[in-house]
Each structure stands twice: as structure tokens, then as C-alpha cells.
Amino acid sequence: MSTISSMLALARAGFVLAREGVISELPDDLLPGPGRFAKKAAALIARKGVASSARADRLSAALNRLGPSWVKLGQFLATRPDVVGKQLAHDLENLQDRMQPFSLEEARQSISGSLGVPVDTVFENMGEAVAAASVAQVHKAVRKRDGAEVAVKVIRPGVRNRFRSDLNTFYAAAQFQEQHLPATRRLRPVAVVDMLAQSAKIEMDLRLEAAAFSELRANTLEDEGFIVPGVDWELTGRDCLTMDWVDGIKLSEVDKIRAAGHDLKKLAATLVQSFLRHTLRDGFFHADMHPGNLFIDAQGSIVAVDLGIMGRLGRKEQRFLAEILYGFITRDYYRVAEVHFEAGYVPHHHSVSSFAQAIRAIGEPIHGQSAETISMAKLLTLLFEVTDLFDMETRPELLLLQKTMVVVEGVARTLDPEFDMWRTSEPVVADWIRHHVGPAGLLEDAREGLHAARRTARLLPEIADRAEILASQLADMGESGVKLDPETVEAIGASKARRTKWGNRALVVIALIAIVFAFNGFS
């Protein structure tokens, strides 16, 4: 029954996307032969006048119409151009996550249920929502114990159940894709949905976002010009998050920032250098730094909010990023190539010299350009294209980094059209290189090696026990072979038959439902 409901949900989603003119605008290179036929058929279902809208606006309208889970799916896929293609990922980057707010009474009930106390005992003067998105909305209130103004973020009622239901649909689509579209199996659609499920679980538990605020704030307390609001843990639970209220101007309101007398060039430099410090120094960065999530306070500091999506880089990825950026800054392309091989990102059967030659083809044209036309985000995009030619595997954490850098660089250029990305980045990158490469880096590597050796030594008895058990099992298999009992063989055969049967039925069901929806749409 769940399979049928998932198919119905998929058919409805396909109809909504077709009606909003999204399917008819999909790039042909993303579609197999039958998909290109469906694209032509979808054009017949599209609403009148929809063709005059930009493709990104159509996509935003369709996903918002489908509901919070689909908006979240779109935001997630914006970070995976390797899965959906560059054009579609670019459209999804501009997805407007603006949902109708739920009532103040529902918010109060949710807060009371999460904190275990009546709302009036902890907050007063709580107003209607000041911002509403797919997963949660924000209210301004006054904390009763000290009279301080606070922001209270509240999970949307029913969003978890709705997401669990829609997740079954996403899995059905991914499994269908893996079974019936062999050319797309390399994209591992089921694994992509697994990542979305994990990401959404984190985002829908506001205690985890509170932890992100706490960690980023601790990392940046000494950083000039960048502020993270404090969290009130006493008034934070799974469904609500209480933090310091931010009085400021959104970074998207450039004219207001200028009128307030702030230095736009300095703000652009602070934004980019802060992002690079968080990435290189801390390995923990805000991965949703669009202008709506950044404010400028009265002192001219950047204040970051909405930490539902965060990125992490391990030590290897931090070194990789710092050394490739520094290599491009200093035009040491051979070193950039070596770093890829040392990190294990490019298979060793390729030539370092040939790879360095390909990287030079990216770097040299950039050094001949004026400052305002040099784009670090574009450089990383070109770099990943070249590494793809050399069999570099997809690195989701680096793709998220690249996507965030595109956004940060874009925001910086709205503040300062003549922004020099390289000159601004060099102090931060060079400082990281100075402290982590060379003698200081060798000492740090040695310390990490000693820690790893100590951990391994503690595990040696357990490893020895497991090795002995494994050796015994292998010896038994060598003497008697591997056997499957009749029930197992029968179960394998039945499972294969069911998959084939349901795959064929699914194709028929989807086709019939699409026809029904189409006729209903015209009637």
C-alpha cells in the first residue's frame, strides 16, 4: 500500500512541476530518451502564461506548492550540482523559502510542549511571526526573567510527520531511478536521499542548531567584526530555540547600509575573511550565508543567524583548500597538483605533471584579469571540472564549500563591485599556511600521529581477538565451502521476482495517473 501511495505522490509532484512549467524547461542533458518525450508532453499541461516567468521562479512556485519537504529537497539539491547539473543547481540556489506562517496560538502550544512550562511564565509580549520558512518560523518576545528582547524559533507543527511521509516518496523515486535508469546509477540517488534524511533530522531538532550557534560563537568570540548571537539553553528544546535578538539591517539592503554610514568595502572584506577563517582555522562554517541570514548591527559588525545548515572540513580538507588557494595565489601549479595526489583525491595512475598542466590552464588566465573580474568561486568550479577529467571522486563536503563560497563572494561583490578576492583572501590563507605547513605543521602532524598510535595500541587486544575469530571462520569455509539453506535461496528468488514485478507495475501506474491528472487539469 505504501508503494502505491508513494507512486500517487510522485505522480502528483510530476503534475505540479509540469503545470508550473518546470519539466518543460529541464536541460536535455539530464534526461534519458523517455524523459525527453515526457518533457514535450509536460509542455502541453503547463499553465497559460507560465512561459513568461523565469525558470527559477517557476521552480520556486512549484516546490512551495508541493510543501515544506519539497522546498527542503530543493535547497539540499542546490548543494549537489554533481547530481542535478549546474543549471538546475543554480536555479535552486535562488529558491525562496517563504511559507505562510502558522498561528501564534500554535507557536505558543509548541513552545509550551517543548519547554514543559506555560509560555507566559517565561516570555511576554510575544508577537506574530517575523519570518516563516519551510521548517520553522521566528517570533520576537521579551524574556520574563530579565526583560531582554529575544528571538524564539519554533518548529512548524506537523512538519516531521509530513517530511517522513514525503521521504518515502523520495526513496521510491530514487529506487525507481536506480532500477530503471542505469546511466544515473553512478549518481547514487538512494544515497543522496539518505544524506537529505540525515540533514533534515538535524535541522528539525532545534537543540542541534543551538549547538551550532554555541560552537560557532565560541570559535569567533575574538574575531573582530563578526558576531554570533548567544543561545539561552534554559529556554531551548527540540521544538524551540531562544537566542539573543538581533537589531540590524539585512545585508541585502545595501542602500540602507550605505545610508547608515557603514563602510561597504570593509564589510565585504570582513565577510570573506571571516568565512575563510571559519573554514580553514575551525573547519566549521555557516553553509547558508545568503544576505537574508546576515545582518549589520549599529557598530558595523556582521551578525549571522539561521545555522540550520553547517559545513565541516576535516584536517585533510582544510589543508587541501588552503594549499590549493595559496598555490593559485603564488602561481605554484605543480604544488596544487601535488596536494590533490597527497590528499588521495586523484588516483595515482595519473601523472602529476599532466595534472599540473591542466591546472595551469585554469590559473594563468585568471592572473591576467582585473581584480573585479577574478572569481575564486569560478576558479573552484573550473578546478572541479578538471579534476573530473582525472577521475577525482565527488566530495560532498567540498561541493558544499564551493556552493557557499559562490554565495559569499556574490554578497561581497554587491557591497563592493570592485572587490579583490585574491588580495582579501591572501592574509588569511598565508597565515594558515604559516602555522600549519613547514616545521609547525610537521610538529602538529607528529602529535596527531602519536595520538593515533596510542588509540591503535589500546585496540590491539580487540583486533587480535577478531582476527582469530575471522581466521577460524575462513578455515571452516575453506573445508566445507559457503552454503545457503533452501529457505535463503527461495527468499532471494522471491525478492528478485517482486522487484521486477513492482518495477513493471510502477511504470504502468505512473503513466495512468499522469494521464488522469492531465485530464483533470484541463477540465
405 or 19, which is more confident: 405
Under DSSP, the state recorded for 1 is: -
Indicate which residue of 239, 244, 288, 420 is catalytic: 288
Distances 447 to 34, 323, 431, 444, 458 between C-alpha atoms, Å = 57, 21, 21, 5, 17
Worst-scoring range by mean pLDDT, 119-133, 338-352, 441-455?
Answer: 441-455
Q: Place 271 in a pLDDT band, splitting at 50, 70 and 90.
A: very high
Which residues, including other chains, have CB under 8 Å from residue 345's CB and lie 6 or more apart? 320, 387, 392, 393, 395
Q: What is the pLDDT of residue 97?
A: 58
Q: Are 296 and 249 in contact (CB under 8 A)?
A: yes
Worst-scoring range by mean pLDDT, 27-31, 47-51, 66-70, 226-230?
Answer: 27-31
Share of the chain above pLDDT 70, in %: 71
351 or 61, which is more confident: 351
Share of the chain above pLDDT 90, in %: 28
Q: What is the mean pLDDT of residues 69-79?
A: 75
| DSSP-derived secondary structure for 448-459 | HHHHHHHHHHHH
Residue type at 136 in one-letter notation: A
Q: Are 121 and 144 in contact (CB under 8 A)?
A: yes
Q: What is the pLDDT of residue 512?
A: 44
Q: What is the mean pLDDT of residues 62-87?
A: 73
Concerning whether 288 is annotated as a catalytic residue, the answer is: yes
Q: What is the mean pLDDT of residues 303-312?
A: 90
Alpha-carbon span 517 to 89, nearest angstrom: 28
Give residue-wise pLDDT tens across range 356-415: 998 888 888 777 666 666 677 677 777 777 777 787 766 767 777 877 887 888 889 889
**The CA-based dihedral angle spanning residues 226, 228, 229, 233, taken in that order and rounded to the nearest 10 degrees:** -160
Alpha-carbon span 123 to 148, nearest angstrom: 10
Does the structure show a pLDDT above 50 at 58?
yes
Longest dimension (CA), the chain: 84
User: DSSP H helical segments within 331-351, as ranges?
Assistant: 333-342
Give residue-wise pLDDT tens across range 469-517: 776 766 666 666 555 556 655 655 555 555 544 444 444 444 444 444 4
Q: Which contacts (CB < 8 Å, 24+ apart) does range 473-481 have? A: none
Alpha-carbon span 274 to 206, nearest angstrom: 25
Does the structure show a pLDDT above 80 at 5?
no
Q: What is the mean pLDDT of residues 145-156?
A: 95
Q: Is 148 left (phi over 0), alpha (psi -120 to 50) or beta?
A: beta
Task: Enumerate domains of the chain plus CATH numbers.
Answer: 1-97+484-523 (no CATH), 98-178+199-245 (3.30.200), 248-437 (no CATH)
Give residue-wise pLDDT tens across range 168-183: 888 887 887 777 766 6
